[in-house]
Structure 1
Amino acid sequence: MSLTLDEAGRALADPTAYADDARLHAAMALLRREAPVHWVERPGYRPFWAITKHADVLEIERNHEIFLNAPRPLLATAVQDRINRERAEQGIGLRTLIHMDDPDHRVIRAIGADWFRPKAMRGLEPRIRELARRYVDRMAILGDSCDFVQQVAVHYPLYVILSLLGLPESDFDTMLKLTQELFGGDDTEMRRGETPEEMLEVLMEFFAYFQDLTAARRAHPTGDLASAIANAEVDGEPLNDFDTASYYVIIATAGHDTTSSTISGGLHALIEHPDQLARLRDDPALMPLAVEEMIRWVTPVKEFMRTATRDYKLRDTTIREGDSVLLSYPSANRDEDVFDDPFAFDVGRDPNKHLAFGFGVHYCLGAALARIEARAFFEELLPRLESIELAGTPENTATTFVGGLKRLPIRYDLRG
C-alpha cells in the first residue's frame, strides 16, 4: 500500500483506518521508519504530533509531569474538544482517571487500587472461571456456529466487571448497550446518533444510573467495589456526584470493552495461525505468554493524548509548550526495534515488552484482571475445542480510541 507521510499521519485520526488492519499498519510502519515524530494536520481536528516508536511512547509516559493528560486526554474532533472543555467547566463532563494528572490522579486512583491488585484478583478468580465456563457452555448451546463477538465475547468480561461492582444481572444488558454507544461514537453501527447532544444523552444515562447506585450504597454499603467508590472520601469529603459517577463509568466501560476485544482478537489470531493454536493446546503452560501476545496483537486502546507543559526535544524535533502528542500504542507494539518479527503471532513470545496497558503512573488499573479473564477463558475453551474456523468475514470497529472486532463469525466443534 503506497502512502505519503501526510496520508499516513492523517490515518491515525481516521476512525475507518482502525477498521482496516492493512491500511493502518502500513501507515504506522511508514511513520516509524521515516517520521517517528510527525506533525499531523487533519481537517476537523486540532493538530498534533504522532508518536509511533516504542521508545518515544515510553519516554513521554515516563515524563508525566511534562506531558499532561489534561486538557486533551483523547483524540476528538475540534468541535468535540470544545464541547468537552465547556462541559468540564460546567461540571457535567466525564472526569475519569484518563482525564486527570497528579495530585488528583494519585488520590482518585487509590480509591479502587486495592480492588485490582493481583492478590485481590486471585480471590476473584473462582468467579471468573465460573463465568468463563458459562460462556464456553454457551458456545456449545449455540450449536456449531456463532458470532463470537456479539454472542460471547462482549458478555463474559462485562459480567465479570459488573459482578465486581456488585450490580444485579438484570442491569447488565443496559450497561452493555450504553458502553457500546459510548465507545462506538465513531462507528455508524454502534453509535446512538451523530450529534454531540445524542452522545451526551448516553453519558447522562450512565450518570443517572450511577447516581442512584451511589445513593443506595451510601445508605446501605454492601462491601463491593460500588460501595467503596460511593463512600470514598478525599480530604475528609465525599467525592462529588460527577467524580463518583465518572469513576463508575471508567470501571464499567474500560473494564470490559478492552478485554472483550482482546479475547475476540486473540481467538481470531489463533484461527488464522493454526500452528500457534496447536502449539498452545500441546503446551498449556504457554498460556500466560499467549495472553500477553494476544494483548500486544490486538492493542485494544489505540491512543492517548498528552499536552506539553514546556518545550521538549524528542529525537530531532522540538515539541512546543501547549502542543499535543498522540501516543500510538498499536504502532509501539509493532516496533521492529523492540519485537523480533513483530508481525508474527507467537504464543511463546518472550520477552514481550508491549505497551498495551500503558506505562508508569497511568498504567492500566485493570491489567491484572484483564490477564486473568483472558487466561481463564482460553483455559476453559481449548481443552474442549475439536475444531474451529471462520464462517464469514471478521469486521473491526471504526474508532480512534478503544476497539477491536465487532463481528467474528466462527464455526466450531466442542466437546461436552
Structure 2
Amino acid sequence: MTTRTAHHAARALADPATYTDESALHAGLARLRAEAPVSWVDVPDYRPFWVISRHQDVMAIERANMTFTNWPRPVLFTEAADQLSEAGIIRTLIHMDDPQHRVVRAIAADWFGPKEMRAMRARIDELAHRFVDTMAAAGPECDFVREVAVNYPLYVILSLLGLPESDFPRMLTLTQELFGGDDAELQRGEALEDQTAALLDMFEYFNALTRARREHPTGDLASAIANARIDGEPLSDVETASYYAIIATAGHDTTSATIAGGLHALLQHPDQRERLRDDPGLLPSATEEMIRWVTPVKAFMRTAIVDTTVRGVPVAAGESLLLSYPSANRDEEIFVDPFRFDVGRSPNKHLAFGFGVHFCLGAALARLEVSSFFRELLPRLDAIEATGSAEYIATTFVGGLKHLPVRYSMRPRPGYPG
C-alpha cells in the first residue's frame, strides 16, 4: 500500500475556524505548497480526502472533468451532510456533471451573457449609487459589511431573478444561514437539522415562486427557470428550487465577500487606494486583484472515477480531492510576489471563478458589480480608516468578512446637493 503524505496544514482545512484567521491560513497553505502539495486528510466527522494546493494541479483537475467528477461530493461537508446531499435534498449545478450539467446550465447561461450584462449595467450602476449614498448617510461610522456590502449584491441578483424588494431581507437571512452554517453568529442553530431547516425554508419560498411564474411568466430569470424544459419535461421541484438557490446564494455571498474584502485590502494598502483613485482605468485589473485576494469560494471537491495520479501521487477511484482556491491564488509558481496586493497586477491568472466546464456562471456579473461599486465609492471618499478588527466567517465553503467597522468622510455625489 502506498504511504499517504499527511500535513497538519491540510488537516486544518476541515476546520471552519481556520478561515477566520487569514494570516495563519495563508502561512499554513504556503507550507503545504512547499512541503506536501498533495496531502491526505483523515479527520473525525469527515470522509477522507486529498488536499490539492498548487495552481497547476487545481487547473489540471478542473480541466479533466471526465476523470474528476463533481458528483457525489462537490463541497467539503461533514459525513452526515454528505449523506443528505447524496439523498437528493438539493441538486444544483455544482452537483452535476456532463452531459446533464451542460444542458441544465444552458437554461440560465444567456442571462449572464454579454447582451444581458449590457442591459443590467444601468441597474447595477443605479444600485451602486444607492448603496454608496446609504454609506454616506450612515456616516461618519458604519459596519461596512453589515450595512453596505451584504446588501448591494443581494439587490442586484434578486433584481435579475425578478423578486420583489419586500422579500429581500428574508432572502438575506436565508442565504447567510445557509453559507454561515458553521459560524456561531450567522447559523440558525448548531445541529444539522437547523441548517437543513434553513434550506427547506428557502425551497418553500422558491416552490411558491415556481408556481407563480408558471401561471404568470414575467420575463425575468425566475420565469426562465420555472418554465424551462429538458426533453420536453419541466425541471422537478427540487431541481427548480435548487437552481434558484444557487443563483441567489452564490450570486450574492461571493460578490459581497469580494467587495468587503476589496475595501479591507484598500484600507491595508493606502498606496494602492490612492493609485486606483487617481487612475480609474485600473478598475478592471483592480477588480481581478480583489477577487484573487479575497477568493470567496474556499474550495470545491472532486471525486476520481478511475485510478489516476496527481503530481505523481496515486489517487484511487472513489477518492475525493479538495481544490484549495486560496492556496492556488497565492501560488509562488504562478504569481509574482503573490502576497502583495497590486491593483495593476497583470497577468492575473487567478482561479477564484474556477476553471473549465464549471467556470462560474455569474463571473461577468460579479466583475460588473465590483467595478461599478468602487467606481462610485472611491471618488467620493475624502478619508477612511478601520475603527476595529475585521472579523471573518467560519466556513469551509464560501465566506469572507462578516464585520468591518470603518470611520470615513464622504463628499456628495456630483450634481447632487450635499
| Shorter-chain TM band | over 0.9
Aligned counterparts, 1:48-87, within 5 A = 48-85=49-86, 87=87
5 Å matches for 1:2-401?
6-85=7-86, 87-88=87-88, 93-401=89-397
Task: Tell which deviates more after alignment, 261-270 or 310-319.
Answer: 310-319
Mapped to 2, the partners of 1:7 and 1:192 lie a distance apart of 30
Identity value in percent: 66
Aligned AA (1:25): H
Q: Does 1:408 align with 2:404?
A: yes
2: CA distance between counterparts of 1:331 and 1:290?
20
Q: AA paired with 1:55?
A: Q
Distance, in Å, in 1 between the alignment partners of 2:83 and 2:93 is: 20
Q: Which amino acid aligns with 1:130?
A: E
Tell me the matched-pair count.
408
Shift of 1:82: 2.1
CA distance in 2, matches of 1:315, 1:203: 38
- Rounded to whole Å, the distance in 1 between the matches of 2:367 and 2:96 is 25
- Structure 2 gap segments, 5+ residues each: 413-418
State the alpha-carbon separation in 2 of the partners of residues 246 and 34 from structure 1.
39
1:12 alignment partner, SS class: helix
d(CA) in 2 for partners of 1:102, 1:146: 45
Which one is further off, 40-49 or 154-163?
40-49
Query: How big is the shift at 1:194?
Result: 1.3
Alpha-carbon distance between aligned partners in 1 of 2:123 and 2:113, rounded to the nearest angstrom? 16
Query: What is the one-letter code of the residue matched to 1:27?
Result: G
Determine the C-alpha separation between the residues in 2 that align with 1:162 and 1:258.
14
Give, in whole Å, the separation in 2 of the partners of 1:21 and 1:143.
28
CA contact (8 A) 2:7 2:36 kept: no
Mapped contact 1:96–1:247 kept (Cα < 8 A):
yes
Offset of residue 118 of structure 1: 2.4
Cα distance in 1, alignment partners of residues 208 and 6 from structure 2: 50
For 2:95 and 2:28, how far apart are their aligned partners in 1? 28
Deviations 1:80-113, CA, capped at 9 Å, x for gaps: 222322x32xxxx110001000111001000000
* RMSD of aligned alpha carbons: 0.9
Aligned-partner Cα distance in 2 for 1:360–1:210: 29
CA contact (8 A) 1:5 1:31 kept: no
The letter for the 2-side match of 1:302 is K
Q: Which amino acid aligns with 2:128?
A: A
Q: Distance in 2 between matches of 1:188 and 1:316?
A: 40
Moved more, 56-65 or 26-35: 26-35
Unaligned runs of 5+ in 1: none
- Say if 2:222 and 2:244, in contact at 8 Å, map to a contact too: yes
**Secondary structure at 2:14's aligned position in 1?**
coil
1:130: how far off? 0.3
Amino acid at match of 1:83: L
1:34 corresponds to which letter in structure 2?
E
Q: Report the alpha carbon displacement of residue 5 of structure 1 after superposing the two structures with TM.
A: 5.8
Give, as a single letter, the amino acid of the residue that structure 1 aligns with 2:19.
Y
Amino acid at match of 1:154: V
The amino acid of 1:308's aligned partner reads A
Deviates more, 1:197-206 or 1:170-179: 197-206
The amino acid of 2:333's aligned partner reads D
Cα separation, 2, equivalents of 1:99 and 1:238: 19
SS in 1 for 2:339: coil
Asked whether the 8 Å contact 1:5–1:30 carries over to 2, the reply is no
SS of residue matched to 2:382: strand
The amino acid of 1:262's aligned partner reads: T
* Secondary structure of the structure 2 residue equivalent to 1:227: helix
CA distance in 1, matches of 2:6, 2:247: 37
Aligned partner letter, 1:6: H
Cα deviation, residue 58, structure 1? 0.3
